[in-house]
Amino acid sequence: MKSLYVIKIGGNVIDNSENLYNFLKDFTALDGHKILIHGGGKIATQMSEQLGIEAKLIDGRRITDIETLRVVTMVYAGLINKNIVAQLQRFGTNAIGLTGADGNFIKATKRPVKTIDYGYVGDLDSQSVNAENISKLLEAGFTPAFCALTHDGDGQMLNTNADTIASAIAIALANYYDTTLIYCFEKKGVLKDINDEESLIREINPVRYDELKKEQIIHSGMLPKLDNAFAAISCGVKAVVIGKSDELGKLGNNQPFGTRLSN
């Protein structure tokens, strides 16, 4: 089975042109098939402010009303996505920039209104990703670069969490490839001490994860990330790696990179 890297980057890469340049150079150097997923960073919020559209957040989550959806569609699928694609072409990666609507690759369901109306936000399920069509792109020599937008099949674009998209793509393509899911963020990986970059935990399996939770070494914001990672592994993803974006080059040089989660 051929290998595949599914790599998600966040605002710490997107918002800094030097970080983005270095990351995309390292991304290009990785052998084999790869897919990039990116969010929107601070640019969508800045653009909203310039247009006089107030950003609405509840518990840190963006409420996507119709005006906000127009902005994130312009920024994620346009400005950020095409800049990334142009940079990747510069380095020799034949990238193709996509939303979930393109090629019907990712179809979501609008989040139902419960206590909070999140607006035009998409939720994914096990049938959301068209793995066969994405595989055709990969086999044709293209490197997909997905932004954090999906569609509902009825003509409506939906803002969708980039971490969730990355996980759904990795799980769907695990039937076709030896898939490793990589989350790049601002820390070296999972740390025993959040303030000490040298306290990196290199490997975590389910038993070790339970121990780290009991010892309160892993808690709060890191829990949902790791819960989702182990859920992806239980669905066929070979491994999930959490690491610092500017150290991705280590992976290409067969050096230890980040925290590796596996069974």
- The yes-or-no verdict on residue 61 having pLDDT over 90 is no
Dihedral sign for Cα atoms in the order 79, 80, 83, 88 = negative
Please name which of 57, 59, 154, 165 lies closest in space to residue 106, comparing C-alpha atoms: 165
What pLDDT does residue 59 have? 77
Q: Per the structure block, which two tokens stand in for 74?
A: 């312009």
- pLDDT classification of 41: cutoffs 50, 70, 90: confident
Residues 6+ apart with CB under 8 A from 261: 203, 204, 205, 209, 226, 229, 230, 233, 239, 240, 241, 242
Mean pLDDT confidence for 192-218: 91
Q: Looking at residue 154, what is its pLDDT?
A: 98
Domain boundaries, the chain: 3-261
Predicted confidence at residue 209, as pLDDT, reads: 94
**What is the predicted pLDDT for the residue at 55?**
82
Cα 200–chain centre separation: 22
Q: Is 100 annotated as a binding residue?
A: no
208 assigned ligand-binding residue: no
What is the pLDDT, as a whole number, of residue 3? 96
What is the structure's pLDDT at 252? 80
Q: What number is the average pLDDT over the span 236-250?
A: 95
What token pair was written down for 218? 């892993």
Q: Supply the pTM of this predicted model.
A: 0.95
What does the pLDDT read at residue 94?
A: 98
3-261, CATH topology level: Carbamate kinase (3.40.1160)
The per-residue pLDDT for 176 is 97
229, exposed or middle or buried, with CB in 10 Å at 0-12, 13-18, 19+? buried
Query: In the prediction, which pLDDT does 171 show?
Result: 98
Percentage of the chain modeled with pLDDT above 90: 83
Is 249 marked as binding a ligand? Answer: no
Amino acid, single-letter form, for residue 205 = N
Query: Dihedral of the CA atoms 158, 163, 169, 170 (nearest 10)?
Result: -170
The predicted pLDDT at position 193 comes to 87
Tell me the backbone φ, ψ of residue 171, rounded to 5 degrees.
-65, -45
Please indicate if the annotation marks 252 as binding a ligand.
no
